[in-house]
Structure 1
């Protein structure tokens, strides 16, 4: 394992029956690095996220978070060790207000989400942390709005805040800009850059303009294998990457 990396995958494989989806992935995520995982549809990017976050168990290989093996652990255990993720589909409670959604996320790492005997509304620590996160993702003016009534980009901002609630060392974002307009994409990209400062980010995103502008390094996944890892400039110039995935996009 790479002791300089905060997240390491070595020889990771995942098969569903006779079909092998992930075929020996090696990947290192450095502390405070923004690292994009790109590749064509069906390459296995979301499967890698499921493996890292504990929703799937690898068929083979090792995954380590801050030097500690995590393959086979469940999502909650991995979250407690310092890793949080968002999903392709917005994962919020539309009938609750923005404040209530985020307060639930703040309560979870403190073990208070199922606490029925305590008046959480009177807990000043929970309230202050919720308000701090709302301000960090620029949603303080929407605190009393039902989450289901917000725009899609605002809902994604709320989900990012909920991801930050456990104060993770590593954040996984799965296509956070999917379905957004150009203006929403620019806003969300700037927000991600701001809120991930001091943390490591692994992001799956199909918008290549965002990927090349946001990432410190990029890994390219094709048919369940990483075919290249490098800086945006190195990936842009890599002939194998151009042939396998980027094509003309690389010079856009």
Structure 2
């Protein structure tokens, strides 16, 4: 039986008088692919900000592997095993694919660029970069400027940079946004492959992607979890259909 690797207990977040997250309780099982869905304005990105440390909760508890992380700095949370990829591609466009991955790996090794000790000669760093290039299927593009990659390749690169810290939990925020169907199909298979040995929590609007990728789904509506269950559970939940999915997805 899977244990819970990420737990939110009565988590709330307000900005002034505006209550965005209203007492969320969520348990993410170790090794599962868990999707969070909901209409625009439901609070999905705010929830990710809380889990990854960009925001501190107004109240409630967030735990990673039973260790409280609510309110910790993003860098601290990352070192504890949680990494996040954002909605907007976050790569250095003028640097090559390899150089982007090298910078991410350097952070993982606690290294900084030193003019007198060329990082390119660091064997451990290079081995990690090579591993990531293969994992995200960009070995053939290692010398290409990141800005010259197509959109799905840029997202693949960003996922590779997220994997550099060897996280136990990965948060992906709308990774399919703006992709063609061919790019979506490619990225779904990539995500399945790279998250085989870790836990995935994903926010995604494409319901075909959600139902094909997720082991379990949580529906967030107006800052509250309306339902959590398997894709079959969520498809058949009348409350979810009324609040979000609509009859056409059933």
Q: How high is the TM-score relative to the length of structure 1?
A: 0.97
* Other-structure match for 1:201: 200
Displacement after TM superposition at 1:118 (Å): 2.3
* Other-structure match for 1:9: 8
Q: Where does structure 1 lack aligned partners over 5 or more consecutive residues?
A: none
Give, in whole Å, the separation in 1 of the partners of 2:241 and 2:231: 13
Displacement after TM superposition at 1:124 (Å): 1.2
Displacement after TM superposition at 1:250 (Å): 2.3
Report Cα offsets for 1:107-128 as digits up to 9, x if no partner.
Answer: 1011113544421011111111
Taking a change above 3 Å as real, the CA distance of residues 114 and 18 of structure 1, as seen in their structure-2 partners, is: farther
Instruction: Give the ranges of 4+ consecutive aligned residues of structure 1 lying more than 6 Å apart after TM superposition.
Output: none
Give, in whole Å, the separation in 1 of the partners of 2:72 and 2:198: 22
* Other-structure match for 1:72: 71
Is the CA contact (8 Å cut-off) linking 1:107 and 1:126 kept in structure 2? yes
* Other-structure match for 2:219: 220
Q: Where does structure 2 lack aligned partners over 5 or more consecutive residues?
A: none
Is the CA contact (8 Å cut-off) linking 1:208 and 1:249 kept in structure 2? no
Report Cα offsets for 1:203-224 as digits up to 9, x if no partner.
Answer: 0000000000000000000000
Displacement after TM superposition at 1:249 (Å): 3.8
* Other-structure match for 2:105: 106
* Other-structure match for 1:230: 229
Aligned length: 249
CA-based RMSD: 1.0
Q: Secondary structure at the match of 1:198?
A: coil
Give, in whole Å, the separation in 2 of the partners of 1:205 and 1:72: 25
Q: Secondary structure at the match of 1:43?
A: coil
